[in-house]
Amino acid sequence: MRIALGIEYAGDGFEGWQSQAHGRTVQDRLEAAIGSIAGHVVRLHCAGRTDAGVHATAQVAHFDAAAERPLSGWVRGVNSLLDAPVAIRWAREVSDDFHARFCAVSRRYRYILHNAPVRPALLAGRVGWFHLPLDEAAMAAAAAQLVGRHDFSAFRAAGCQAKSPVRFLHEARVTREGDFIYFDFHANAFLHHMVRNLVGALVYVGKGRYRPEWIADVLAAGDRRRAAPTFAPDGLYLCGVGYPPHWPLPDEGRIIALPRIPVV
């Protein structure tokens, strides 16, 4: 049988999603725990591979199990074997033609940036940081120019293996709450480092280096060298994966928000 899973993890404790020889990845930890419950070696396939330091509130993955277990076993049983900052949120049985990556029709990412003179200590590794004041209105105006179907070559990593740089960006929003700025992106798919490269460009606009119209010029030029450096992974969260309605999966768009810390 094929099982789909909803997964949450803090990426600062891992060397990314994809399995590596050293075993310090999300995939390696999960496959070991799931294999113990299944009684055989399993291979996980995820909706979107995340880099080292990138987090997820709603990653989706699937595996094939030869043994039948109650769905609760794939959740509570697996979680009981995980001592790392990763947890299974839900499990669903799906048909054999389901694929976590290839059946997905959209992904959501949120980048959380702490915009204050002093770096955050309690949230180290969980948020990005920029010390100079940023104009969120200018960044929002720049982000609006990214919405639609575009060639995002200017915002892809040099080693990106995607066959096409064209993506449809449904949403690109920038909002502020106190010292925290939220960058929200919703697209059919993303290129390698695309969100972090977009955030880097928007920060250039926010600090006044360029006007909001500059980002449209960079997008049209398709030249990575004209854009900003790749921003740190710390504040990036995979917050949702969309599938066609005939798949019986929970609506797991979980947008992370920081808790309010009372001042006494």
Question: Shortest CA distance to 105 belongs to which of 219, 249, 263?
Answer: 249
State how far the Cα of 197 lies from the Cα of 190, in Å rounded to an integer. Answer: 11
Q: Can you give the C-alpha Rg of the chain in angstroms?
A: 19
β-strands 45-46, 2-9 pairing: unpaired
DSSP state for residue 188 in the 8-state scheme: S
Give the 3-state secondary structure of residue 146: coil
* Residues in CB range of 180: below 8 A, 6 or more apart: 112, 113, 114, 115, 127, 258
Question: Shortest CA distance to 110 belongs to which of 165, 172, 197?
Answer: 172
Give the position of tokens 């309010």: 260
State how far the Cα of 111 lies from the Cα of 184, in Å rounded to an integer. Answer: 7
51 as an active site residue: the answer is: yes
Give the 3-state secondary structure of residue 59: strand
Residue 201 · residue 155 · CB < 8 Å: yes
Angle at 173 between CA 217 and CA 155, to 5 degrees: 40
Candidate list 12, 28, 51, 83, residue with the active-site label: 51
Residues in the chain: 264
User: Residue 241 — φ and ψ, nearest 5°?
Assistant: -130, 130
Residues classed as catalytic = 51
